[in-house]
């Protein structure tokens, strides 16, 4: 793979993880198709907050979406494809990897580049231990989504399973990781009490908010109400908001609150969320009021880990709720409902046909190697 070897001085961040094609199915019938991959959701959040970054993502020639950040096209590979199954008998999502693109290697990272922060956000096993190690060398601090480290896939049907973090091949790198994010289910595989000794761990609990752990403390961060259309990408948008908050100088509690905020936007849409610019401007203003550092560096991470709520942190939450309510009212008056699930919605980087009231009768393709 040939990559640009020039330094990238104007990019503060490095995002590593493949784009995917995502198909949602209900009782084996397709109800939506969208752009996927944690990198697509996170880039939407960071772009909305005007946080520059360089993205490394691999796809095949069959990649069917327009993106603001171009991927590397591998001529001999196919774009990673996931099927997310929902059904009357199993309301929880069953995720299957149907196709897999090539992994991202250290040689894909531009030579000579250095970044303030990095985000290792694989979804299909595309991030290798040596790739994460390279990121840790060239980024001042790195956010890692544990799903990219512990996911494994069944040979027969591609069904996602997990291995213990200690058996993943990544455990030895934890002392160099700044923040490790895990869902409530994934946290069972990481040995939380051990891992929190080495790095800050953020565990998301969906509608119940999140918890942040360090070796010295723990705090619970409140959720935001949301009308869920599709949970895919909620954790990714959370991580994007959380990372943006840290990079922009927020304390850990406020950054986690910002993560919950963006996660609540993600579940209301299929695919990377369309984020209203008016909403984002209000959020930016609130973030500027809450800054505790101009620009954190590795040496300041411990200063950010203040595990207590200040007297005015409830006000930050109320401000974000008010901003969300105001923009929701505005978009409804203008005939576009952010939470609409019955019409075709054109989003930033995706067109998703939502048929949640009347299921489209389209069976799952029987040939794994063919694009639906």
Give 61's pLDDT tier (boundaries 50, 70, 90). Answer: very high
Active site residues: 236
Q: How many domains does the chain have?
A: 1
Tell me: pLDDT of 347 over 50.
Answer: no
CATH number at residue 348: 3.40.1190.20
Residue 369, domain member (yes or no): no
Tell me: pLDDT of 372 over 50.
Answer: no
Residue 132, domain member (yes or no): yes
Tell me: pLDDT of 301 over 90.
Answer: no
Between 98-107, 144-153, 252-261, 342-351, the lowest mean confidence (pLDDT) is in 342-351
Global confidence as pTM = 0.84
Whole-number average pLDDT of the chain: 82
Distances (CA, A) of 132 to 62, 79, 136, 165: 27, 21, 6, 14
Q: Which pairing describes strands 200-204 and 179-183: parallel, antiparallel, or unpaired?
A: parallel
Residue 89, domain member (yes or no): yes
Residue 1, domain member (yes or no): no
pLDDT at 87: 78
Residue 322, domain member (yes or no): yes
Residue 245 is encoded by which pair of tokens? 């908050």
- The count of other CB atoms within 10 Å of the CB of residue 59 is 25
Between 34-38, 47-51, 99-103, 319-323, the lowest mean confidence (pLDDT) is in 319-323
Closest CA to 194 of 219, 169, 213: 213
What are the helix and strand counts (H, E) for the chain? 9, 18
Tell me: pLDDT of 55 over 70.
Answer: yes
Domain assignment of residue 129, given as a range: 13-352
pLDDT tens, position by position, 163-216 = 999 999 999 999 999 999 999 999 999 999 999 999 999 999 988 999 999 988
Q: Summarize the confidence of residues 21-40 as an average pLDDT.
A: 91
> In this predicted model, which residue has the larger pLDDT, 339 or 145?
145
Residue 30, domain member (yes or no): yes
Residue 268, domain member (yes or no): yes
């Amino acid at each position: 793979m040939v990559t640009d070897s020039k330094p990238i001085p104007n990019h503060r961040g490095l995002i590593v993880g493949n784009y995917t094609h995502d198909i949602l199915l209900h009782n084996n019938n397709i109800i939506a198709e969208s752009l996927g991959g944690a990198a697509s959701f996170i880039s939407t959040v960071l772009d909305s907050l005007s946080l520059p970054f360089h993205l490394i993502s691999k796809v095949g020639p069959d990649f069917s979406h327009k993106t603001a950040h171009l991927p590397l096209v591998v001529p001999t590979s196919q774009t990673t494809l996931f099927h997310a199954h929902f059904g009357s008998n199993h309301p929880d999502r069953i995720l299957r990897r149907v196709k897999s693109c090539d992994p991202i290697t250290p040689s894909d990272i531009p030579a000579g580049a250095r970044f303030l922060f990095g985000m290792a956000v694989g979804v299909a096993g595309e991030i290798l231990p040596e790739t994460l190690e390279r990121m840790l060398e060239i980024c001042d601090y790195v956010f890692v989504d544990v799903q990219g480290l512990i996911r494994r896939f069944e040979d027969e049907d591609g069904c996602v399973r997990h291995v213990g973090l200690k058996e993943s091949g990544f455990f030895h790198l934890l002392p160099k990781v700044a923040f490790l994010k895990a869902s409530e289910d994934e946290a069972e595989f990481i040995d939380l009490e051990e891992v929190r000794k080495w790095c800050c761990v953020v565990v998301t609990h969906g509608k119940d908010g999140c918890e942040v752990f360090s070796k010295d403390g723990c705090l619970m961060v409140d959720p935001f109400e949301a009308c869920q259309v599709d949970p895919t990408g909620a954790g990714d948008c959370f991580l994007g908001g959380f990372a943006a908050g840290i990079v922009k100088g927020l304390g850990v509690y406020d950054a986690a609150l910002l993560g919950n905020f963006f996660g609540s936007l993600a579940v209301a849409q299929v695919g990377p969320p369309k984020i209203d610019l008016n909403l984002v401007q209000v959020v930016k203003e609130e973030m500027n009021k809450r800054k505790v550092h101009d620009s954190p560096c590795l040496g300041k991470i411990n200063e950010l880990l203040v595990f207590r709520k200040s007297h005015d942190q409830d006000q930050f939450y109320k401000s974000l709720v008010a901003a969300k309510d105001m923009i929701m009212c505005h978009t409804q008056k203008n005939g576009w409902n952010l939470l609409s699930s019955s019409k075709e919605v054109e989003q930033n980087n995706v067109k998703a046909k939502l048929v949640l009231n009347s299921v489209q009768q389209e069976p799952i393709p029987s040939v794994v190697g063919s694009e639906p």
